[in-house]
Chains A and B, each alone.
Chain A
Amino acid sequence: QSVLTQPPSVSAAPGQKVTISCSGSLGNIGNNLVSWYQHLPGTAPKLFIYENDKRPSGIPDRFSGSKSGTSATLGITGLQTGDEADYYCGTWDSDRQAEVFGGGTKLTVL
């Protein structure tokens, strides 16, 4: 059972938009910055969003992040088949004094 709650899967057609939610508590998302990672098994995970809504260089602006209260959201517009992957939210948990991730969301581009 992950500390942060994500939907197990989301899907949409190419060109469409999708959002992935990440729900936590005051001790983690509520008082700390959120990151989002993309992971394809067998490859190195990749940071896509940090500090709630910032994109590292090289990440297209089709990807966006937001946070409100104890929840965060990853948005992806103009979906491409190459976006198919597992996406994870992560943040520091002040109560556990440890970094925590969500259980991951598998994105399928139909």
Chain B
Amino acid sequence: EVQLVESGGGLVQPGGSLRLSCTASESTFGYYAMTWVRRAPGEGLQPVSGISASAGHTYYADSVKGRFTISRDNSNNTLYLQMNSLRAEDTAVYYCAMSHCGGCYSELHHWGQGILVTVSS
């Protein structure tokens, strides 16, 4: 089964930037859409952004539009989330997840263990 490992989290000041990475253990990574999902303290799971297998389609939650950018490098089995203009409300554990089709974002079959992002001064 494919393993997903997130990295790049940590503590950042409000207004700062951070780039998360998610590396997959298998080259099948390039065939499937990927999604970033977060869970803030006391809140539920929230899909943040998704990208199709070819990177030809992306989507963003309204709360991060214009601040976050999702991208992927299929040659290195890696997914990215560039987070700019970070706010306290972006504090959460961020998970990367893999679909089982190239252009659909539902059916997140595989998940990483998550990485903590804390936005605080």
A56 to B109: give the CA distance in the assembly, Å: 8
A92 to B100: give the CA distance in the assembly, Å: 15
CB-CB < 8 A to A88: which residues of B?
A: 44-45
Cβ B107 vs Cβ A101 within 8 A: no
Q: Does any Cβ of B come within 8 Å of A45's Cβ?
A: yes
When C-beta atoms are compared, the residue in chain A nearest to B111 turns out to be A44
Cβ A101 vs Cβ B47 within 8 A: yes
A31 to B46: give the CA distance in the assembly, Å: 21
Cβ B106 vs Cβ A90 within 8 A: yes
Cβ A45 vs Cβ B111 within 8 A: yes
Interface size class of B (residues with CB under 8 A): 20 to 34
| Residues 84-110 of A at the B interface (beta carbon under 8 Å) | 86, 88, 90-92, 96-104
CB-CB < 8 A to A92: which residues of B?
A: 104-106
A33 to B47: give the CA distance in the assembly, Å: 16
When C-beta atoms are compared, the residue in chain B nearest to A90 turns out to be B106
Q: Does any Cβ of B come within 8 Å of A73's Cβ?
A: no
The answer to whether residues A35 and B106 also contact, given A46-B111, A88-B44, A101-B47 and a CB cut-off of 8 A, is yes
Q: Does any Cβ of B come within 8 Å of A39's Cβ?
A: yes
CB-CB < 8 A to A44: which residues of B?
A: 95, 111-114
The smallest beta-carbon distance between A80 and chain B, in angstroms, is: 22
26 contacts across the A-B interface (CB closer than 8 A): A33-B106, A34-B106, A35-B107, A37-B45, A39-B45, A41-B39, A44-B95, A44-B112, A44-B114, A50-B107, A51-B107, A56-B109, A86-B44, A88-B44, A90-B47, A90-B108, A91-B106, A96-B62, A98-B60, A98-B61, A98-B62, A99-B47, A99-B105, A100-B47, A102-B44, A104-B45
Known contacts A33-B106, A33-B107, A86-B45; 5 additional CB pairs below 8 A are A43-B113, A56-B109, A92-B105, A98-B47, A99-B59
